Amino acid sequence: MNKAIKITEVSPIIKVRSYRCHVTQNKWVNSRYKHLCLTSENIDFASMTQAGQFYQLKCPQTNDLNPFLLRPMSVYSLGASQNNQDKNQIEFLYNVMGLGTQALSSLVIDAPMDIVGPLGNSFYFKPSFKKILLIVRGVGLATLAPLLKQAYQHNIGINVIMSARHQDDLMQDQFLQGIDLNESYAKMHLNVHCLYDSDGSSSMETLETLVSHILKTNTIDALYTCGSERILMLLQKLLINYPDICAEVALEQRMACGMGVCLSCVKLFRTQDGETKFRRICRDGPIFPISEVAYFG
Instruction: Tell which one of 99, 179, 186, 210 touches ligand FAD (CB under 6 A).
Output: 99
146 binds ligand FAD (CB under 6 A): no
120 close to 10: Cβ distance less than 8 angstroms: yes
54 binds ligand FAD (CB under 6 A): yes
**Which run of H or of E encompasses 223?**
strand 222-226
- The strand ranges marked E within 75-156 are 77-78, 89-95, 112-119, 131-137
Taking CB under 6 A as the rule, which mask of x and - marks residues 233-272 in contact with ligand FAD?
-------------------xxxxx-------x--------
Give Cβ neighbours of residue 291 (< 8 Å, ≥ 6 apart).
1, 2, 3, 4, 236, 239, 247, 270
**Could you tell me which of 213, 237, 209, 239 has the C-alpha nearest to residue 224?**
239
191 binds ligand FAD (CB under 6 A): no
> CB under 5 to 8 A by kind: which of ligand FES, ligand FAD, none does 261 bind?
ligand FES
Give me the least distance between CB of 229 and ligand FAD, in Å please.
14
> CB under 5 to 8 A by kind: which of ligand FAD, ligand FES, none does 260 bind?
ligand FES
**Whole-angstrom distance, CA of residue 72 vs CA of residue 258:** 7
Stretch that binds ligand FAD, among 67-75, 152-160, 181-189, 232-240 (CB under 6 A): 67-75
Instruction: Tell which one of 88, 101, 121, 291 touches ligand FAD (CB under 6 A).
Output: 101
Instruction: Tell which one of 18, 29, 97, 261 touches ligand FAD (CB under 6 A).
Output: 97
> CB under 5 to 8 A by kind: which of ligand FES, ligand FAD, none does 99 bind?
ligand FAD
Alpha helices in 50-126 (DSSP H): 99-104
> CB under 5 to 8 A by kind: which of ligand FAD, ligand FES, none does 263 bind?
ligand FES
Compute, in degrees rounded to 10, the torsion defined by CA atoms 183, 188, 189, 192: 90
107 close to 86: Cβ distance less than 8 angstroms: no
Omega of the bond leading into 118 within 30 degrees of 0 (cis) = yes
* Binding positions for ligand FAD, rule: CB under 6 A: 54, 67, 69, 71-74, 92-95, 97-101, 139, 142-143, 252-256, 264, 286
